[in-house]
């Protein structure tokens, strides 16, 4: 800041260097505000959608023992891409992240089973002792078996509609496909689901009858 005397008046003259010295302070304050807003949005994202992410991971085939870790990974990825998440599209964005992580987890689990082929597969082991299972666990196993046999596109559509009760428009946005494709996939998925459930239940019925004979 410089001063200049004109007659009896002393006027303050703004030095451009004063502005330059103040810029870092303003920039730092702006960055702090933006970071605080990001943290608040991320916190809201977690609080609002953590249960949704866990369900997507579970229904997409993530091993139960790995769900907590995959939930954390989902939100870590989301935090890194927070600026890419459009307001109002948080659920769709998180679904895509979680579904991709679930697919990776399934492939990893499959490789582990192949490497450890001398061990009894987890699913067979559980079915070997049905008396130790509750009805809810039996239904979970049945659901897992059916979903595991579905093609990825059908599975994603089925999970979102039947378990998350998302509309056709919401699913279309989440999967980046036309609404008509959602409808056709859903029809195929429902038909396939019913057929596979009937086949599994029929097999279990026959097996139980043979065991009694």
Query: Is the pLDDT higher at 17 or at 119?
Result: 17
For the ranges 77-81, 85-89, 135-139, the one whose mean pLDDT is highest? 77-81
pLDDT of residue 128: 42
Q: Is the pLDDT assigned to residue 40 strictly greater than 90?
A: yes
Q: Please give the radius of gyration of the chain, using alpha carbons only, rounded to the nearest integer.
A: 28
88, 119, 150 — which closes off a domain? Answer: 119
* Mean pLDDT, range 155-166, rounded to an integer: 91
Query: Is the pLDDT higher at 54 or at 21?
Result: 54
Q: How confident is the model at residue 113 (pLDDT cuts 50, 70, 90)?
A: low
Query: Is the pLDDT higher at 103 or at 112?
Result: 103
pLDDT of residue 130: 46
Q: Is residue 194 included in any domain, yes or no?
A: yes
Half-sphere exposure of 209 (CA within 13 A, CB side): 6
User: What's 185's domain CATH number?
Assistant: 1.10.10.10
pLDDT of residue 42: 93
Total-model pTM: 0.66
Q: How confident is the model at residue 110 (pLDDT cuts 50, 70, 90)?
A: low
Burial of residue 183 (number of CB atoms within 10 Å: 0-12, 13-18, 19+): middle
Burial of residue 202 (number of CB atoms within 10 Å: 0-12, 13-18, 19+): exposed
Q: Is residue 12 included in any domain, yes or no?
A: no
Question: Residue 71 in contact with residue 49, Cβ under 8 Å?
Answer: no
Q: How confident is the model at residue 1 (pLDDT cuts 50, 70, 90)?
A: low
Question: Residue 155 in contact with residue 143, Cβ under 8 Å?
Answer: no
138: helix, strand or coil: helix
* Mean pLDDT, range 8-13, rounded to an integer: 54
- Residue-wise DSSP of 65-111: GGHHHHHHHHHHHHHHTGGGS-TT-HHHHHHHHHHHHHHHHHHHHHH
Question: Residue 197 in contact with residue 158, Cβ under 8 Å?
Answer: no
Strand partners, 11: 4
Q: Is residue 22 included in any domain, yes or no?
A: no
Strand partners, 6: 9
Question: Residue 39 in contact with residue 147, Cβ under 8 Å?
Answer: no
User: What's 50's domain CATH number?
Assistant: 1.10.1740.10
Query: Is the pLDDT higher at 36 or at 212?
Result: 36
pLDDT of residue 106: 77
In whole angstroms, give the CA distance from residue 122 to residue 110.
11
Q: How many domains does the chain have?
A: 2
Query: Is the pLDDT higher at 31 or at 174?
Result: 174
Domain that holds residue 175: 129-208
119, 148, 171 — which closes off a domain? Answer: 119
Q: Is the pLDDT assigned to residue 127 strictly greater than 60?
A: no
Place of tokens 């595991």: 148
């Amino acid at each position: 800041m410089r001063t200049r005397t004109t007659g009896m008046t002393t006027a303050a003259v703004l030095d451009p260097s004063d502005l330059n010295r103040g810029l870092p302070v303003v920039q730092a304050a702006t960055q702090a505000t933006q970071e605080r807003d990001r943290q608040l949005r991320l916190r809201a994202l977690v609080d609002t959608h953590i249960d949704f992410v866990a369900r997507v991971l579970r229904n997409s085939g993530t091993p139960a023992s790995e769900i907590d870790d995959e939930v954390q990974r989902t939100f870590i990825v989301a935090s890194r891409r927070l600026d890419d998440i459009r307001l109002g599209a948080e659920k769709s964005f998180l679904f895509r992240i979680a579904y991709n992580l679930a697919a990776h987890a399934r492939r990893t689990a499959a490789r582990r089973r192949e490497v450890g082929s001398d061990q009894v597969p987890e699913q067979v082991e559980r079915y070997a002792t049905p008396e130790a299972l509750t009805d809810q666990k039996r239904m979970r196993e049945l659901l897992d078996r059916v979903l595991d046999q579905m093609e990825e596109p059908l599975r994603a559509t089925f999970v979102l509609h039947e378990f998350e009760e998302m509309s056709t428009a919401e699913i279309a946005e989440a999967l980046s496909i036309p609404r008509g494709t959602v409808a056709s996939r859903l029809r195929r998925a429902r038909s396939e689901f019913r057929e596979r459930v009937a086949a599994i239940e029929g097999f279990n019925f026959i097996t139980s009858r043979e065991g009694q004979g």
